[in-house]
Structure 1
Amino acid sequence: MLFTKASEYALLSLIYISQKDSPVDVDTMSNELGISKSFLAKILQGLAREKILISFKGANGGFLLADAPENISIKRIFESAEKRKTAVFECSSSFEDCPSNKGAMCQIWSTFNTLQVQIDDFLDTIKLSNIIKK
């Protein structure tokens, strides 16, 4: 499972936004976090599309969390930033839907599927509130 800079920056920006009382604009965050403005804007727009953030337009525009930090899981953040499900290996989540049509003789699927379920459950239990420094 590979999490890219998009996941890292999504998490860092959500922590930053969670510590503010008013909408935070991309310029401010880009400067404060040392992240490319265009890359950060793309990440934040994706998080807004997924209803993790609320986007405000105009002179006092910016972003706010759409929900309380204790209701936003790390899994949801990562999947929104990566635009895909978290995956231990490139395989189907269903034994019957094996992309190589070899599901009936696959010896590894059940082991890796068990691992995938555990990772998904773990990432779902960690909330943004668990990692925010007070």
Structure 2
Amino acid sequence: MLLTKASEYALLSLIYISQKETPQDVDTMAFELDIPKSFLAKILQTLAKDGLLKSFKGAKGGFTLIKEAHCYTIKEIINSAEKKDINVFECSGGTCPSNKEKYCSLLPILVNLQNRIDDFLESITLADIINNGKE
């Protein structure tokens, strides 16, 4: 499983937005977070399209969270940013790409690993990251 800069930037931008009371514009966030503006805009639009952010147009436009920080799981944020489900290996979703399930003793172990990772990522919320070390 390789998480890309898109996941990192999605998490950083959601943390940033969660700490503000008004919609946050791409220009300000790109500058503050040191993220390329066009890349950040693309990520934020994907998050908005997937229902994780609300987008406002106009001079006072920008992005806000749709729900409370404790309602976002890290798994849903990463899945949205990466535009796919997170899989440790190609076959960890339970299907062997080479159609050799009958002969592969590794498949059940990889599926179990994937389930544990999914559970772990589902158990961590955006609020957990924001509050880390503050409790």
**What TM-score bracket applies, with the shorter chain setting the length?**
over 0.9
Instruction: Indicate the residue corresponding to 1:101 in structure 2.
Output: 99
Deviation at 1:73, TM superposition (A): 0.2
* 4+ runs deviating over 4 angstroms: none
Query: C-alpha distance in 1, partners of 2:12/2:99?
Result: 40
Deviation at 1:10, TM superposition (A): 0.3
Query: C-alpha distance in 2, partners of 1:34/1:52?
Result: 22
Point out the more displaced range, 84-93 or 6-15. Answer: 84-93
Aligned pairs (5 A) from 1:37-52: 37-52=37-52
1:40-84 per-position Cα deviation (integer Å, ceiling 9, x unaligned)? 000000000110000001111000001110000000001100111
Q: Secondary structure at the match of 1:119?
A: helix
Instruction: Indicate the residue corresponding to 1:88 in structure 2.
Output: 88
CA separation of 1:115 and 1:17: change in aligned 2, threshold 3 A: same
Query: C-alpha distance in 2, partners of 1:109/1:16?
Result: 39
TM-score by length of 2: 0.94
Deviation at 1:115, TM superposition (A): 0.4
Note the residue ranges of structure 2 that are not aligned, 5 or more in a row: none
State whether structure 2 residue 2 is matched by structure 1 residue 16. no
Match of 2:120 among 115, 119, 122: 122
Instruction: Indicate the residue corresponding to 1:66 in structure 2.
Output: 66
Instruction: Indicate the residue corresponding to 1:111 in structure 2.
Output: 109
Note the residue ranges of structure 1 that are not aligned, 5 or more in a row: none
Aligned residues: 132
**Are the equivalent residues in 2 in contact too, given 1:92–1:99 (CA < 8 A)?**
no
**Are the equivalent residues in 2 in contact too, given 1:88–1:116 (CA < 8 A)?**
yes
Percentage identity across paired residues of the two chains: 60
Output the aligned Cα RMSD.
Answer: 1.1
